[in-house]
Amino acid sequence: MMTNIEVDNDHELDEIIRVETQTCQNASLYDQCSSNVACGCLQSAHTPNDGICSYLYVSCSELSACAVDNRTCWEPEHECVTHPHCHTGPLCYPLNMATQTVCPPILTTTSNPSLPQDGICAEAKWNRNGVIIAGGNYGSDLNQLMAPHGMFVDDNDTIYIADGANQRIVKWVPGANSSQVVAGGNGKGNNSDQFEFVTKVVVDKNGTMFICDTYNQRVQRWFKDANHGETIVDDILCYGLAMDNEGSLYISDQIENSVVKLPGRQIVAGGNGKGFDINQLNDPKHIFVDRDKSVYVADNFNYRVVKWPAGAEEGIIVAGGNEQGDDKNQLSSPQSVVVDDSGTVYVLDYGNDRVTRWFKGSTSGNIILGRSGWGDDTSYVYRANDLVFDRHGNLYVVDNSNVRILKFTIDKSACLTE
């Protein structure tokens, strides 16, 4: 909602400054309020049911305390808000960080990605031989990859690859023989146009990329066609990213053994120290978020996949959890997970070089892709790192050791339609 906020900056001069801002009403602190996932609700210090929808990552050191009345800011165009991530007391927040330009409203026809109605049934099958659609050659040329760790497929079947050791994100359009660098590629470093080992990228419908810059311990946002990014989260050992159908961003944190949700950096999975208990994680890798905003975590060193329903304080094991092994009820270092619309779970089982399919409620999985051991024909997914669906239900695997992206096409001919 756009409104005019009156900011009382000087009682003696009775000066009222009107600023058009994006506001929140009857919202919780840090709730999502904008299609910009870096924005959230900051509650007014004097009227808690009201607040401003503001960019949340203004440096805390730039914010000053409100006056003792908890409503007055002596700087022009500032609002007195609660922001406990920065300080326990009320702070003056700049209203130029709460405009519709900075924090566009969430529209009913949202431009953020939505999960497809995939039509995948229990009888669906995938071709056991993949097709190389990117890479296959080790190096830094535009037709090559070096330690790819994550990827994203958009609705046009264009793929974006986190090309880890090349310190870049590359974009491959369908049928292309080489890629385009769309982020990074300027050597290893911590400048705004550099990375130090990227592990995941997700892209919204506007072409804005969100990137795990893992060893710089930050998440970067790169707008479409930009030549540099901006940090939206720091001090986080990010490995996996996911975006829900409202545009909220989820991040797996390998130091805190948790998954956090933006805006607000709310813990939605783990966060109770490293361990095997059902409220703990141990080295979370890639993640998936379903339509109900349940979070699925590839819980690497617990050898399981855990589902955390929205608001839950502990997870539910949906795959593995029977110690490390290669039996059908076991996993060995799961790296990635995706879930279809019926709740069937697909796990990239790194240590066993396979993809397994776990029907809802099942205690064991079926191997649908991969073969034991190393090989370079397209039936192998050796030491693979990521697994994603496209909107048709085809599966894509980041085949790290073979430095390539494989596409495994789905056969839905056995699926019944009404």
Whether residue 77 is predicted with pLDDT greater than 70 in this model: the reply is yes
Q: Give me the DSSP letters along 184-214.
A: E-S-BSSSTT-BS-EEEEEE-TT--EEEEEG
**Hey, what are 325's tokens?**
């092994």
Q: Give the pLDDT band (50/70/90) at residue 4.
A: very low
pLDDT in tens, 158-180: 999 999 999 999 999 998 999 99
**Quick check: bond before 263 cis, omega within 30?**
yes
Domain spanning 125-411: CATH superfamily? TolB, C-terminal domain (2.120.10.30)
Conformation bin of residue 26: beta by default, left when phi > 0, alpha when psi is -120 to 50 = left
- Each residue's pLDDT tens digit, 7-44: 444 433 333 334 467 788 778 888 878 877 778 899 88
pLDDT at 112 over 60: no
* Residue 140, pLDDT score: 97
Which DSSP symbol is given to 283? S
- Write out pLDDT tens, residues 243-280: 998 889 999 999 999 999 998 899 999 999 999 999 99
Residue 17, pLDDT score: 39
Render pLDDT for 248-258 as a digit per residue (tens, 0 to 9).
999 999 999 99
**Single-letter amino acid, residue 103:** C
The per-residue pLDDT for range 362-394, each reduced to its tens digit, is 999 999 999 988 889 999 999 999 999 999 999
Q: What is the pLDDT of residues 57-76, one digit of tens each?
A: 888 888 999 999 888 999 89
d(CA 19, CA 4): 5
- pLDDT surpassing 90 at residue 414: no
Average confidence (pLDDT) over 340-363: 96
Q: How far apart are the C-alpha atoms of 279 and 371, rounded to whole Å?
A: 33
CA distances from 381 to 324, 338, 388, 402 (A): 19, 16, 14, 8
For the cut 50, the answer to whether the pLDDT of residue 281 exceeds it is yes
Residue 115 has pLDDT above 80, yes or no: no
Using a 10 angstrom Cβ sphere, with 0-12 exposed, 13-18 middle and 19 or more buried, the burial of residue 255 is: exposed
Question: What's the sign of the alpha-carbon dihedral 402, 351, 286, 343?
Answer: positive
**Residue 243: strand, helix, or coil:** strand
Element (H, E) at 342: none
What percent of the chain has pLDDT above 90?
70
Biggest CA-to-CA distance, the chain: 79
What residue segments make up the domains of the chain, in order of their start? Answer: 2-97, 125-411
pLDDT of residue 416: 65
Report the alpha-carbon distance of residue 87 to residue 90 in Å, rounded: 7
- Please state the rounded mean pLDDT for residues 298-310: 98
Q: How confident is the model at residue 418 (pLDDT cuts 50, 70, 90)?
A: very low
Q: What is the pLDDT of residues 180-225, one digit of tens each?
A: 999 999 999 999 999 999 999 999 988 999 999 999 999 999 999 9
